[in-house]
Amino acid sequence: MKLISGTAHRALSERIAEEIESPLANVEVTAFPDGETFVRINENIRGQDVFIIQPTCPPTNQSLMELLIMVDAARRASAERITAVIPFFGYARQDRKDQPRVPITAKLVANLLTSAGVHRVLTMDLHAPQIQGFFDIPVDHLYAKPALIGYIRSKVPDPSGLTVVSPDVGGSKLARAYADAIGTDLAIVAKHRVSATMVEAMNVIGDVDGRDVMLVDDMTETAGTLCAAAEILNKKGAKRIYAGVSHAVLGDMGRQRIRESAIEEVITTDSVPQAHGEKVHVCGIAPLLGEAIDRIHNGESVTSLFDV
């Protein structure tokens, strides 16, 4: 086995390497003066099982291109098998034509990865799970649910006083999975999106009065949806408001909104380096990804990793 890290999230790669006691390969990633990426693998990987760890997080295009170049370098170095470990899969929201004359970029990214020479993809909490079907190669799709639920149970030990809330109708399936795993009720915030950065929350379907709530979403960038939902939940009488988010790709606007919101704590994973800030608690996913890499390498099942 050979672990190769891109530059998008070196810290996560180091934690994964430590978890499975396999050092990161010596790889040089530099840029030419015009911005072109250059990759050189400084050790022999011929006939090896190679895992390239690179979330395609901001700067998204740079991270994606770097991943493709590393895959090509590994393929030309005669690696036996190349697995792209993509904790956060960028462009996943562009999974369908919802307007005239727009691309389905998630499918394009799947084609690029396959054409570059990827044999297998390991990812976590895709924005649209059906993206797995865009690939003609195996996709192992992990979930952050076990890590996030473990932490919320430590904050709210009694599930009878907790309600899981979806911040929009589209996320109700994900929220239902969390509610079933915890053994509690589900509520939904009906919202209206004004623009890419502005969300106007409308109403709450379900009972949250006098209860702790956990908002559940797969990702957040500007935190507009979460904070608008938290505001209306607060008005409806919710007590403590938590948010469980698989990928917190936060910028300055998102961190400011969370800091000023009614949310007590945002629980997220370290799938991207942007997951930090005031009122943000990060759960490590290196053990989960490390175990999955180990099992894939040894030809074992990864199904039990979904258990809460």
In the chain the domains, ranked by start, together with CATH numbers, are: 2-142+286-303 (3.40.50.2020), 145-283 (3.40.50.2020)
List, for residues 133-186, the tens digit of each pLDDT value: 999 999 999 999 988 999 999 988 888 889 999 988 888 899 999 999 999 999
pTM comes to 0.92
Q: Is 191 a known active-site residue?
A: yes
What tokens does 121 get? 């993809």
Residue 254 to residue 249: CA distance in whole angstroms = 9
Active-site hit among 97, 191, 239, 279:
191
| Per-residue model confidence (pLDDT) at position 169 | 82
8-state DSSP, 54: -
Both tokens of 94, joined, read 């562009």
At 247-285, the pLDDT tens digits run: 999 999 999 999 999 999 999 999 999 999 999 999 999
Residue 205 in contact with residue 232, Cβ under 8 Å?
no
| More confident: 2 or 191 | 2
pLDDT above 90 as % of the chain: 83
- Could you read off the pLDDT of 39-61 as tens digits, one per residue? 999 999 999 999 999 999 999 99
Dihedral of the alpha carbons of 180, 294, 46, 119, in degrees to the nearest 10 = -20
Residues near 258 by Cβ (< 8 Å), separated by ≥ 6?
Answer: 223, 226, 227, 250, 266, 277, 278, 279, 280
| pLDDT at residue 94, rounded to an integer | 94
The residue written with tokens 């960038």 in the block is: 221
